[in-house]
Amino acid sequence: MVRILTRSDVRSLISMGEVIDAVQKAHEDLALGRADQPERHAARTPGTDAHLIPMTAALADGQAGGVKLLADVPANPARELPRQQSTIVLVNPENGVCEAFLDGGAITQYRTAAASAVATRCLARPDAHVLGLIGAGAQARSHLAAIAQVRPIDRVLVWSRTEASARAFRDAVADSGLNIELAGSPEQVVRGSDVLCTLTPAATPVVSGHWFGEGLHVNAVGAPPRRDHREIDSEGIARARVVVDSLDTALAESGAVSIALEEGAITVDHVRDELGEVLTGAKPGRRDDAQITLFNSVGVPIQDIATARILVDRARDKGIGIEISLPE
């Protein structure tokens, strides 16, 4: 039987703390060769500007394998739909039987923030307590929840292109007990933060590396997987010690990395360190309190499949979701 989990099912089952631990374990296993994640290739859809991106991964010890199909559709916001849509298929790798179909929206929101939290845990200063958010949507809320689990956050600076969005974010997290401040510009957020998360679908930079202060840690998250989109300029990439979620993915799909390379601001060696290598000790973490660090997050399927495994197991225990038989 194949279990189908809707977005509301996923939200009722998911726990940020569990996802953070699962994402960290998945990256460690990947770095140690226990898990697999082949290079992915986007398919353009003729007649539109949409890209379809199949993302495949297999967890360690035969726990699960699967595919996340990501659709990046720039025209969707005008239709009042999210720019990115996704569905996850979970498969038993021992016999090839399909276990589940899951809506990818909530999983993406949680696992993206969880990856930023894992990177923050191993790269940010231990005493970092001011969180900066550029962008005030769903990812801002999930990043606040995730980063607060790994650092003693007590103050949050947030900026959005519209003040209404920033105010809506502040209202949504009013019960967090944190000091939430609306900033007048991205520069104000960057200069005032210990940990910065960029969470916008920007095509051109909204953050200048000139603003980076000593000891800052940046999670560059929001730009879609396209080589001509970036939130952070080449100076920012060049000034920071960069860690990527996947070198192959960053070189193929990260505009921040690709454009900095094309402009000659960096070489490939500058972005060669992967998150899993830092977690396992194969590559160093933060060097000292003054170092600027940056996690370039494009998003990788090992995170999705690790999260989906937790959700499907819990859904079975709780009897949540719909079961169907595909062969019938």
Contact criterion met (CB below 8 Å) for 107 and 142: no
- Give first-to-last CA distance, the chain, whole Å: 10
pLDDT of residue 40: 87
Instruction: Report CA dihedral (106, 112, 118, 119) to the nearest 10 degrees.
Output: -170
pLDDT of residue 230: 97
pLDDT averaged over consecutive 10-residue blocks of the chain (328 residues)? 96 97 98 95 90 95 96 92 94 94 96 98 98 97 98 98 96 94 97 98 96 98 93 98 96 96 98 98 96 97 98 97 87
Classified as helix, coil or strand, 141 is helix
User: Number of C-alpha atoms within 13 angstroms, CB side, residue 178?
Assistant: 25
Measured distance CA(113)–CA(295) in Å, rounded? 12
Contact criterion met (CB below 8 Å) for 297 and 220: yes
Residue 86: which H helix or E strand, with range?
strand 84-91
Q: Which two tokens mark 143?
A: 């990043």
Residue 236: which H helix or E strand, with range?
helix 234-239
Cβ density class 259-284: b for 16+ within 10 Å, e for less: bbbeeebbeeebbebbbbbbbeeeee
pLDDT of residue 61: 94
Contact criterion met (CB below 8 Å) for 193 and 217: no
Q: Which of 194, 152, 153, 149 is nearest to 21 (CA)?
A: 149
Is 26 exposed, middle or buried, given 0-12, 13-18 or 19+ CB atoms closer than 10 A? buried
pLDDT of residue 328: 67
Q: Which of 128, 57, 112, 119 is nearest to 244 (CA)?
A: 119
Measured distance CA(230)–CA(205) in Å, rounded? 6
Q: Which of 219, 261, 53, 232 is nearest to 128 (CA)?
A: 219
pTM of the model: 0.95
Measured distance CA(43)–CA(34) in Å, rounded? 28
Classified as helix, coil or strand, 47 is coil
Residue that the structure tokens 């998003």 belong to: 299
pLDDT of residue 41: 87
The catalytic site residues sit at: 68
Q: Which of 149, 150, 171 is nearest to 160 (CA)?
A: 171
